[in-house]
Amino acid sequence: MTVLNTVFLPQNKGHGNASREAINRCSNSLIARMDSDDISKEYRFRVQLERFMANPKLDVVGGIISEFEGSEDNITGFRAVPESDAEIKAYAKKRCPVNHVSAMYKKEAVLSAGGYLDWHCEEDYYLWLRMIENGSVFENIQKCLVNARVGKGMSSRRGGWKYFESEKNLQLYMLRHRIIGLPRFVYNTAVRFAGEVVIPNGIRHKVFHLMREHDKEYGLTVNETVEKSCETENEVQYPPFSVAMSVYGKDNAEWFDLALESVTLKQTVKPNEIVLVVDGPVPEDIHRVIEKYQKILGGG
């Protein structure tokens, strides 16, 4: 049975701090990350738990995400990430190596690396880097685990001087900690300056689209899903896990409802708790969604 535990923050503290609060409140060792406007595949948690069960050394298990605009079936591309631990750590020198919304991780490994720390739009990348330095073991499942909502608003948020300064400072962190050398620092910073400062928003949106993979099917087949669902019904013993989420005042209540539904009612293996941090004041329609799932799931 899944319980919804809700934490209300009186003031908005930002994404990184809200994530930190959610992680600290989770009661299980395994925690899945979820955003308030995306949709998890119904098999997501089952396949991630199976990887942790098969390899106890793993600390982070992510996966591929699809990106869609408007309706969920309007997929514009896939953000593929490397599979193995060695590939992920090499990729981290160039780009964020784990799709944050797809991640499931061990609470102890996250906290041992310092947990979530506030870093403008890059708190996840910053966390992965510190976990890599701390010796954590990663894997990305080569299946689509989450359908992520995107649009022109996302490309505008990933541009401008403030965003570039955040990215540049993260590259400086990598240089100072000898994750990358000076040539890679210069290259990474130059590419980001061109993409985030020089290029207009409209063109940046097209560039993001070109960078994604297209015309690929990363999901499980119907037969794979049905077969594994039958195994679940035959009482396979999966470890307990939590889902950490946050929501704030500018989130869309309808999308938030769909996100909660996807990690609770539609999963073949369900979490035993959702820890939801309400990051500052939110409008009444978001409160109604929270109350809806408190009635369905229980909790407070």
Where is 291: in which H helix or E strand? Answer: helix 284-297
Average pLDDT across the chain, whole number = 89
Two tokens at 284? 């009444």
Two tokens at 142? 């080569």
Among residues 203, 191, 242, the alpha carbon closest in space to that of 29 is found at 242
What distance in Å separates the CA atoms of residue 123 and residue 101, rounded to the nearest whole number?
Answer: 12
Task: Name the DSSP letter for residue 238.
Answer: P
* DSSP-assigned beta bridge partners for residue 277: 7, 246
User: What value does the mean pLDDT take over residues 99-111?
Assistant: 98
What residues contact residue 235 under an 8 Å CB cut-off, 6+ apart? none
- What pLDDT score does 211 carry? 55
* Span of 41-45, 60-64, 130-134, 235-239 with lowest mean pLDDT: 235-239
C-alpha pair distances (Å), 24 with each of 18, 19, 27, 121: 10, 9, 8, 20
Strand segments, DSSP code E, in 124-189 are: 138-149
* Span of 40-54, 62-76, 163-177, 215-229 with lowest mean pLDDT: 215-229
- What pLDDT score does 54 carry? 98
C-alpha pair distances (Å), 148 with each of 132, 159, 193, 204: 25, 19, 25, 18
* DSSP-assigned beta bridge partners for residue 67: 77, 148
Per-residue pLDDT tens digits for 62-90: 999 999 988 888 898 899 999 999 999 99
Cα end-to-end distance, the chain, whole Å: 15
Per-residue pLDDT tens digits for 260-299: 999 999 999 999 999 999 999 999 999 999 999 999 998 7
What residues contact residue 152 under an 8 Å CB cut-off, 6+ apart? 201, 202, 205
**Residues 100, 15: contact at Cβ < 8 Å?**
no
- What pLDDT score does 116 carry? 95
